[in-house]
A = this chain, B = another copy of it.
Amino acid sequence: MKLSKRGEYALRALIDLGIASELGWPMLQASELATKEKLPIKFLEQIFTQLKAAGYVKSRRGKFGGYSLARPMSQIKFGTVIRLIDGPLAPIRCVSQMAYVRCSCPDEVHCGLRMLMLDVRNAITKLLDRYTLADIVEITLRKLRRDKVTPPFLSRSTKLRSVLPPMVNRLGDGGLKFNSVGPTSGRRRK
């Protein structure tokens, strides 16, 4: 499951759309998003076309047009979007549920590689098929507020420019570990 640029931009766009809408800006323009998030405009347009065809966003054109989410954020799962844009989530087709293809192994049942990859697939889908746009937007907003940062694509009329702290590659941080914001029922006690 390698996320292509196309997929990355699509998800970033959706998340931004979600954040903006949550903050009272239900509609964003492609050019706006492209400049603030530093994506190639024309490419982004193509992606929006695809997202629209799949029913994730709707659009209005002409002056003051733009794109907005076409359905509730809690109904947009990441797994589904990624499958649409980048294809199956499974690392190998013989363990894909949505797009199974037999591989050349003479005996699938006793294939060690398949057992391992099945676990990998399950680990991936467990995350991507459970998290929705609503979850991610909520978590992101919380982080933004905690650090008192405004998202860059919301500086339209306001001159308040958000200072972006330089990124250091410390991977220990990050992740979704907010006191069990997880979408499932599993609510662990502190």
Using a Cβ–Cβ cut-off of 8 Å, how many residues does chain A contribute to the interface with B?
A: 64
**Contact across chains for B136 and A127 when beta carbons are under 8 A apart:** no
Interface residues of A in 51-71 (CB under 8 A from B): none
- Name the contact of A119 in the complex, choosing from B114, B140, B164, B176 (C-beta under 8 A): B176
A20 CB–B CB distance under 8 Å: no
Contact with B along A146-167 (1 / 0, CB 8 A): 0101011000000000101101
- Name the contact of A175 in the complex, choosing from B15, B118, B136 (C-beta under 8 A): B118
Q: Which residues of B lie under 8 Å from residue A50 when comparing CB positions?
A: none
Known contacts A11-B113, A104-B37; A171 and B123 CB within 8 A of each other: no
Known contacts A164-B106, A169-B100; A15 and B124 CB within 8 A of each other: no
Q: How far is the CB of A182 from chain B (nearest CB, A)?
A: 10
Chain A residues with a Cβ under 8 A of chain B: 1-3, 8, 11-12, 15, 19, 36-39, 78, 91-92, 95, 97, 100, 102-120, 122-124, 126-128, 131, 136-137, 139-140, 143-144, 147, 149, 151-152, 162, 164-165, 167, 169, 171, 173-176
